[in-house]
Amino acid sequence: MSLWKRLLIRYGSFFVTLLLLSGLFFFLGHIVLKGGNTLSPALLFGEVAPMDALLFKERVFEGLFPAICGTLCLVLLSVTLALPAGVLTGIWLSHFARGRAKRTLTLCVDTLAGVPSIVVGLFGFSFAILLHTLTKGRIGPCLLIAALTLAVLVMPGIIRTTEVALSTIDRGTRLRVSAMGATPVQAIFHVYLPMAASGIFRGGVLALGRCAEDTAAIMLTGVVVTAGVPYALFGRFEALPFAIFTIASEYTGPEELARGYGAALILLILCGGLFGLSACIACRFRSIKR
């Protein structure tokens, strides 16, 4: 290989790496710098006293508190919905599926993983319309439907991490378990699942992050600009990413803009924290296995 080509490969690669990192730091640095100054109780609670807001005595209008509550409810609800179905599908894929059924389902999971979140949102919305006509207008787009939509969105991730976690269990363990006379179901629920728990848990944490950041799907399924703290499963709700989106497009003054920066920073910290948590779990998992 000529010297020129070598240098081109080496420095070209380093150049694009630097380019990517500088792009990353440019955008995130901007948020951190501008958002750092805005972090204060007033950002969360506006003019309301923090204790009153936390105890739901008074409604917060000019703060991010309702949006944060909305996001937390949404995230927990959707991961709770997605986890059982996702984990069981993962188990089915790694232990019970054979031949064509397995191929079909992996194709489904791959497709589902790629479907744009707005299309999943559209699905959630059409589901809401169906419920709307069935219940004669009592149920429309709401927290529960948004959570269901997000659950569909994060399920492929959970299925895959479960499948991977289960497939890393070594042959020795499998042989020992069946030598002790355990039925496949006993083996899975008493041995393999506990062994794969940290991998599955990690998938769940990643799903939390994915739910917290997604905007397009909830946009179609019931998120609104002001709804207060979520009060019912069938009510409308606020969410952090949607608040950021609306502030970016329709802010009216520097105060609102500052709230947008604050919200973006909080969301970034939330998602970064969840990612850090999942990385920690992965790290510990690896050291235990050694």
Partner 1 sequence: MGEGAATMAAGITFGVTLAIFGFMGWLALPLLEGETLSTLFTSVWNPQGGHFGIRPMIWGTLAVALPATLIAFPVSVGFACVATHLAPSWARRPLKGIAGFMTGIPTVVYGFSAVFTLVPLIRRMAGQGSGFSILGAAMVLALLISPTMILILINAFETTPQIWLREFEAMGATPEETVWYLIFPVTTPAMVSAFLLGLGRATGDTLIALMLAGNAVLTPTSPLEPARTLTAHIALVMAADFESPEFRSIFACGILLYLIIFGLTLMVRYLTRRPCP
The yes or no reply on residue 37 touching partner 1 (CB under 8 A) is no
From CA 120, how far away is CA 205, in angstroms rounded?
21
Stretch of residues binding partner 1 (CB under 8 A), selected from 54-62, 169-177, 196-204, 208-216: 208-216
Interface with partner 1 in residues 232-251 (CB under 8 A): 241, 244-245, 247-249
The yes or no reply on residue 65 touching partner 1 (CB under 8 A) is no
* Smallest distance from partner 1 to CB 149, Å: 10
Binding residue for partner 1, selected from 116, 168, 286, 289, defined by CB under 8 A: 116
The structure tokens listed for 132 are 């709307």
Interface with partner 1 in residues 66-95 (CB under 8 A): 84-89, 91-93, 95
* Smallest distance from partner 1 to CB 202, Å: 12
The yes or no reply on residue 10 touching partner 1 (CB under 8 A) is yes
| One character per residue 94-113, x = contact with partner 1 (rule: CB under 8 A) | -xxx------xx-xxxxxx-
Binding residue for partner 1, selected from 123, 177, 204, 230, defined by CB under 8 A: 123
User: What is the residue-wise DSSP string for 182-233?
Assistant: --HHHIIIIIIHHHHHHHHHHHHHHHHHHHHH--HHHHTTTB-S---S---T
Binding residue for partner 1, selected from 72, 119, 224, 229, defined by CB under 8 A: 119
Interface with partner 1 in residues 142-181 (CB under 8 A): 152, 155, 159
User: What is the residue-wise DSSP string for 3-24?
Assistant: HHHHHHHHHHHHHHHHHHHHHH
The structure tokens listed for 88 are 């069981």
Binding residue for partner 1, selected from 203, 204, 260, 262, defined by CB under 8 A: 260
Backbone angles phi, psi at 223, to 5 degrees: -80, 140
Please state the three-class secondary structure of 70-95 as a single string.
Answer: HHHHHHHHHHHHHHHHHHHHHHHHHH
The yes or no reply on residue 36 touching partner 1 (CB under 8 A) is no
